[in-house]
Structure 1
Amino acid sequence: MPVLSVLSTLLYFISMPVPWALGHPHITPCRLSQSTALCNSYGLSSVPSDLPQQIEELFLNQNFVSTLQNDCLSRYASLRLFSCASNRLRAVEEKAFSRSPLIESLNLANNDLHHGHKQFAQSLRSLTRLRTLDLSSNGLTEDMVSDLLQNLTSIEFLYLSGNILLRLDESTFRDLYQLKELNLERNLLFEIDGAFDHLQKLLRLNLAFNSLPCLVKFEMTQLVMLNASHNLIEWFITNSDVTEIFQLEMLDLSNNRLLFFPFLPTHSSIRSLLLSNNQINFYSHLAVNNSSNWTTNVEYYNMGRNASNITADLWDESLHGDISSVQLLDLSGNQLRYFPKGFLQKMPHLYWLRLRRNCLESFNLTAEDVPATLYELDVSNNRLTELHAQPSSVSVLNNLTHLNLSLNDIKRLPPRVFNTLPSLNTVDLSYNTVGICHSGDISDSDTPACVVWTNHSSLKQLYIAGCSIQNLPPLVFEGTPLTHLELSNNPDLLIGQDSLSGLSGTLQHLGLSNTGLQNFDFSPYKHLKFLNISKNAIWELPKSLLMLNLKLLDLRNNMLSTIQSEHATALADRVQIVYVNGNAFNCCHLEWYRMFEESKALCAVDLSEVTCIDLHRQSQKAMFFDSVDCGSRSTEESIFWYILLFLSVCLSLVGISVIYLLTYRPKVLPRAIKKKCWRPTPY
């Protein structure tokens, strides 16, 4: 029996699956998940040697590894991914990866590998299957990079951002025939001389945040994405001799110094064209009044060869290239004064058009000038004084959903211009001088300085802040199911209880900041979630607010001296976020403050900034004020006043008695004095 028992026990343990934990000691600090070892931020100074041999992914980021020694990964022959980013890595010995030939992804970013890069280059030779290499932020120069990448023909994804590359030539990436993605952002590049000509499989190229002065003779037809933003680029010129179709879908030239619209390929597939924050303008109007003082073409000189290789007619509109596939055009922050005739119609698939912060003085919102596919139009912060629109042609723009005309100088609009846009969902007219009128007050022939907002079934969000609106007529939004209404910064606004009639079932966001509001009944608007009544003259919290379940309530910069306890309790139960700073709170009535502070449901964002006025009329931080000061001070002052009052009464009675005796009983007082004080002498 004992022998059978021992055998059965042995068979039981033999039949059990052996976990990885049995293959190494239990002292490793790393977390193991299937074939991955996570050793990030454990203060390690070397590669752990007690991990399972079968791991395929090893992460050692944010540690203190200074050297990858020879055969440091020899235990992990199945390793496919090794990440040792953000360490103190200064050296990689020649045979560091010799026993891990299966590594496909190597991340050594944010280290100091510019030290001993020759030895590091030798270690990379054994990684014949390497597909992804990240050497960002290692202080590498272009010569170092050229040495490191020699013979690494298998690399497909290369990240070199944050180094000190100055100039690239055909030798830098000479062996990377399989390269698909290259990131060179945040270097010091000022010249690229044929560095990408042989990279026929390169699809994504990031050159952002460098010092490139121009991109000329661009002919990378296979490229899908090019990000050259945040450089010093003044010219982008495609090689017009290339007849192939460019596969480029996204071109980002924002935050450069472009003076002209880029000279794009004659056959392209560009969908996103990002040109914001340049100095782009159109100059075809100058050709009409051309004189001998104006040049009609520009010649680009390649200073290296000292020869002219590009001549362009500045007024030739064909230089814009093929923009027929563009869906997103961002020209924000340029110097546009107009568009050439028919320019926008060259983009029949245009979906987003962003033109904020330009110099446009007028805009034609007609089917003849704007593509019918347009979904979003942003012309904010320009110099618009008028918006041209014809009801017959505007109605064709049945896809326009978001329209931003804020921060212009518009004073007059066709009163029913927005009613003719059937899909319009959002309109921002803030900071123009356009009022509100009721449809019954105007005729079709009128051109008043107001707009009709009634019976617009698709309109959900309306922003008319800072429009100098003084009167809000009754039923002005009737038939328009607004969910967002912004009326802030109209300081002389007279808003009646029936002005918002019809919005009780839909209104969710209401902005009434700086409108002179003192009191208003919010109880009909049961669906309100965001309410801004800051910068007004509210002395007491409206009781109607206590009926709402708000996500956000802004009460800043009013005249509240306190919030009654029952009101504070209701707010703490119903409101999620509240702003209360900037009121003249009384330091001796801060019960509401303690409730807000202790509430777990309410988040009073600026509670630590709230100030109050104490008994000495001094402003103090409410969070540091001790309520005991109110009690002791008030008691002392009350006793002092009682004593003073008692003394005053006593002195008054004595005075009155003396005056009475001296007036009506003149002999009584001397007799009493004589009786009291006169004593006979003994002689």
Structure 2
Amino acid sequence: MVSGVSEGGARTRRAEDVKTTWSGVRHAAKTRRRLGVSNMAAFPLLLPLLVGCVAAAVQPARHRPSCRIVDTSVVCRDLSLTSTPADLPSGVQALDLSHNQLQNLSGDTLAGHMGLRHLDLHSNKIHFIQPGLFEAMRDLKVLDLSGNRLNVFAMGKIQIGTLAAVQSLDLSNNGLYTGMSDFFLADSPSLVQLSLSGNSITKIAKNTFSGASSLRRISLRNNVILEIEDGAFDCLDGLSDLDLSRNSIACITDFNLNRLRALNLSRNSLELFQSTRSAELYHLAFLDLSENKLPNFPLLPTNNVIRHLDLSRNRVRSVDAAETKMPEMVLKHLRNLDLSYNLLTGLPQSFFRTMTSLEVLNVSNNCVALFSITDKDLLPAAKTVNLSYNSLRRLSLGEGALQALEELFVQGNDLRTLAHQTFQRLPSLNLLQLQENNLRVCPSETKNDQNPLSCVSFFSVPKLKFLYLSQNNIKSLPCRAFANTPLSLLDLSLNPGMEMHRDSLAGLEHSLVQLLLRENNISHLNADMSSLRSLKLVDLSTNHLSSLPAWNQELSIETLNLQNNSLVTLERAAMAALERSLKTLYVGDNPLSCCGNLELVRLLQHSAVVVPDIEAATCVLHQGSEPVNIEKVTPEMCRGRKKANHIIVIVAVVLLAAIASGLLVKFCKSRKEKRVRRFSA
């Protein structure tokens, strides 16, 4: 149940307002008697005050936002409070006083609510806390003091006392610097989770967490940490998650937190990460070293269970153990490896030798020229490989390699040739990103002995559903290029001048759902689309089409993009075939004729078809006239135009007849005059 808590206070304020108003009336009467004004003469002057008094008694006071109560939880958020409202019910267990104006925190400020389990004081102006306040709050588990001014309190070198039962403490964004956290953590035996993020701490001392030995999760994100003293975390046997991201740490040597499960060191200045040489098992599973300055692959614990390793946006040049003079890493538990945005030029197959569990490999945005997996025992569990935006000229996949691969990203490279059956060897391949290369598509009947390196075959790729071939400079798309491949999406956009065979899409009748052909400079679509019964979305935008492809009633296209073409008239038969299924139509930026597209006008004005670019969907009534928004066109405009055209035609015919008659009469007269002159005496 939700209710307000300030109704009694409102009644009290209304009574006080009435009392004040009545006092004003009596004071005015006394003044008039003192000045010798009779009561009867003063009555007209007192009447407005009396009316105001009665109105104040009847009308409610101006409503002021109140706290919300839901069971034993009270939310007094953003009410400009300087203390806890006095009229809160007893038994409150969760109290939210965030975004208010509290400055001093004491028992009086909390109005005696000592049985709280959850207290949120985020974003106030608290700069003083009564020492020992939380010692009496034996049930308090969660305390949020973030976004205050606790640096002022810490400058007084006063400890807040025992945090008897507090398990989660948030001290983030309080302007705290090195050593100040000690005044809050000196006696917190139950503390499990701590946030000190967004402060100005430069050093983690050996005794920083000595009073909070139960800590499991610590966030020191977004400070200015330059140094971590040896043994700073040794007292925390249960520490499992440590966030040191967005600091200024330059190196980690002799990393020995073997019980830690997650370590975030992203966005520091790391140039070295090195763990101790020990056979002891390290429980670290998540390691984020992204956005640092590491020149080499980190030296990880030999006996590890690392599953996620992020090394993106560093300066790693090589992962070859021979080149870097580092021992080979045993990473048999690794599932996700991110090496994107580095300076890698090669990926030796030996690097993957122990990565038998790797599922996701991201090496995008490097300088790799060759990617080769010829051994079927390498990367047996890999499902996603991202090699996009490198300098790939060769992609070599051996027979039986990458049998679990589902997604392959190789866009933005310089691939020109591939082994003929490259993708047919990948039985689990579902998505293939090949845009921004220079590949030629083979016809389905190409044999291995017919110059196999001159084109790439997409025939009979057993599970391929999503194929992206945009920006490949494809000049022609041969017959049955994708037959026996269950494509759901085919992107052939941005291949200017591409010519499609009539049967280029044959074999996709029951699978193709989305066909993208935008920006191809197509003036006429040769490919037969009439049999693509599963087709739902067609993008033909930014071409030179002057007519629509041949549709039929069996098509079920729901979204059609015809933007930015040369369409003057949309054939009635074509539009009628689409009317049954069409839901979304883009037709803007075409030189449409208003009166030549009355079927389209009717479709847009009287059907459920949505035109997202309706503002750009214009047409012209006649040559030289200003464009009209197609929604505003009416049949009367065109009928009036036809009548005007008929009148013009009639006038022109009459005028031409008159001119012809005049010329004929003139001709006859001239003949007669000649005859008379010839027979004169």
Normalising by the smaller structure, the TM-score range is: 0.7 to 0.9
Cα distance between partner residues in 1 of 2:579 and 2:83: 53
**Is residue 236–residue 262 contact of structure 1 (8 Å, CA) maintained in 2?**
yes
8 A Cα contact 1:386 1:412, kept in partner: yes
Question: Aligned-pair distance for 1:485?
Answer: 1.4
Tell me the CA shift for residue 247 of structure 1. 0.7
Q: 2:176 aligned to 116, 140, 144, which one?
A: 140
**Structure-2 separation of matches of 1:135 and 1:100:** 18
**What is the root-mean-square deviation in Å for CA atoms of aligned residues?**
4.3
- One-letter amino acid of the structure 2 residue matched with residue 528 of structure 1: L
Please point out which of 246, 249, 273 is paired with 2:309: 273
Tell me which of 315, 327, 335 is aligned to 2:324: 315
Report the CA distance between 1:542 and its aligned residue: 5.0
Equivalent residue number for residue 213 of structure 1: 250
Using a 3 Å threshold, how does the CA distance of structure 1 residues 447 and 526 change in structure 2: closer, same or farther? closer
Q: 1:74 to 1:421 in 2, by over 3 A?
A: same
Deviation of 1:608 (Å): 5.2
Cα-to-partner distance string for 1:309-355 (whole Å, 9 max, x where unaligned)? xxxxx73241x543222111111111111234511012111111111
Q: Deviations over 1:339-387 (max 9, x none)?
A: 3451101211111111111111111122257322222111121111112
Contact residue 142 and residue 169 of structure 2 kept, 8 A: yes
Distance 1:37 1:621 in 2: 58
Residue in structure 1 matching 2:119, options 72, 82, 91: 82
Measure, in 1, the Cα distance between the counterparts of 2:339 and 2:285.
17
Amino acid of the structure 2 residue aligned with 1:492: G
Distance 1:657 1:379, change over 3 A: closer
Q: Distance in 1 between matches of 2:296 and 2:466?
A: 36
Change (3 A) 1:368 1:421: closer
State the match for 1:374 in structure 2.
382
- Determine the C-alpha separation between the residues in 2 that align with 1:515 and 1:454: 23
Could you tell me which amino acid in structure 1 is paired with residue 413 of structure 2? N
SS in 1 for 2:515: strand
Change (3 A) 1:126 1:382: same
Match of 2:469 among 459, 464, 467: 464
**1:529 alignment partner, one of 533, 536, 549:** 536
Cα 1:410–1:30 shift into 2, 3 Å = same
Q: Which moved more, 1:129-138 or 1:605-614?
A: 605-614
Distance 1:556 1:139, change over 3 A: farther
TM (norm. structure 1) is 0.76
Relative to structure 1, the CA distance from residue 268 to residue 36 in structure 2 (aligned partners, 3 Å threshold; closer, same or farther) is: same
Counting only pairs closer than 5 Å after superposition, residues 134-533 of structure 1 correspond to structure 2 as 134-194=170-230, 195-240=232-277, 242-282=278-318, 315-318=324-327, 320-367=328-375, 370-390=378-398, 394-444=399-449, 446-517=451-522, 518-519=524-525, 522-533=529-540
Q: Is the 8 A contact 1:281 1:334 kept in 2?
A: yes
- Does the CA contact (< 8 Å) of 2:274 and 2:300 recur in 1? yes
Distance 2:410 2:455 in 1: 15
Indicate the residue corresponding to 1:675 in structure 2.
none
Residue 108 (structure 2) aligns with: 71
Matches within 5 A, 1:601-620: 604-607=611-614
Does residue 1:556 correspond to 2:592, yes or no? Answer: no
Change (3 A) 1:83 1:254: same
* Contact 2:157–2:183 (Cα < 8 Å) also in 1: no
Segment drifting more, 87-96 vs 484-493: 87-96
SS at match of 1:419: coil
2:55 maps to 1:50: no
1:499 and 1:340, CA in 2 relative to 1: closer, same or farther beyond 3 A?
closer
Kindly state the Cα deviation for residue 127 of structure 1 after the two structures are TM-superposed.
3.1
2:145 & 2:575 partners in 1: Cα distance? 55
**Alpha-carbon offset, residue 638 of structure 1:** 9.3
Deviating more after overlay: 495-504 vs 511-520: 511-520
**Mean alpha-carbon deviation: is it higher for 611-620 or for 251-260?**
611-620
Q: Distance in 2 between matches of 1:170 and 1:618?
A: 82
Q: 1:564 offset after TM fit, Å?
A: 8.5
Partner Cα distance (1:580, 1:113) in 2: 60
Bigger mean CA deviation after superposition, 501-510 or 144-153: 144-153
Between the aligned residues of both structures, percent identity stands at 29
Distance in 1 (alpha carbons) for counterparts of 2:574 and 2:285: 57
Cα distance in 1, alignment partners of residues 157 and 509 from structure 2: 70
Q: How far apart, CA to CA, are the structure 2 residues paired with 1:603 and 1:57?
A: 48
Between 1:211-220 and 1:26-35, the stretch displaced more is 26-35
Check conservation: 2:330, 2:355, Cα contact below 8 A. no
Q: Which amino acid aligns with 2:351?
A: F
Q: Supply the AA of the counterpart residue of 1:332.
A: S
Q: SS of the residue aligned with 1:217?
A: strand
Query: Hey, what does 2:147 align to over in structure 1?
Result: 110
Compute the displacement of 1:129 (Å).
0.7
Q: Deviations over 1:513-544 (max 9, x none)?
A: 12334346544323223332222123355573
Tell me the equivalent position of 2:30: none
Q: Larger deviation: 501-510 or 601-610?
A: 601-610
Distance in 2 (CA, whole Å) between partners of 1:270 and 1:490 is: 43
Code of the residue aligned with 1:81 in structure 2: it is H
Gaps of 5+ in 2: 11-64, 674-681
Cα distance change, pair 654–553 in 1 and its aligned pair in 2 (3 A): closer
TM-aligned CA deviation for residue 489 of structure 1:
1.5
Report the Cα offset of residue 270 of structure 1. Answer: 0.5
Shift in alpha-carbon separation, 1:665–1:544, aligned structure 2, 3 A: closer
Relative to structure 1, the CA distance from residue 665 to residue 422 in structure 2 (aligned partners, 3 Å threshold; closer, same or farther) is: closer
Task: Kindly state the Cα deviation for residue 154 of structure 1 after the two structures are TM-superposed.
Answer: 2.3
CA distance in 2, matches of 1:130, 1:569: 70
- Indicate conservation of the 8 Å contact 2:509/2:532, yes or no: yes
Partners in 2 of 1:162 and 1:171 — Cα distance? 21
Instruction: Render the CA deviation track for 1:88-136: whole Å, top value 9, x for unaligned.
Output: 42334316656644211112333444343457964x4253111111122
Change (3 A) 1:24 1:648: closer
Tell me which moved more, 200-209 or 615-624: 615-624
Query: 2: CA distance between counterparts of 1:161 and 1:623?
Result: 57
Contact kept, 8 Å, 2:619 with 2:630, in 1: the verdict is no
User: How far apart, CA to CA, are the structure 1 residues paired with 2:576 and 2:148?
Assistant: 55
| One-letter amino acid of the structure 2 residue matched with residue 213 of structure 1 | A
Between stretches 532-541 and 37-46, larger displacement belongs to 37-46
In the alignment, the residues of structure 2 paired with residue 571 and residue 42 of structure 1 have an alpha-carbon distance, to the nearest angstrom, of 57
Going from structure 1 to structure 2, the CA distance change for 1:113 and 1:646 (only over 3 Å counts) comes to: farther
- On the 8 A contact 2:503/2:528 being kept in 1, the answer is no
Aligned to 1:125: 161
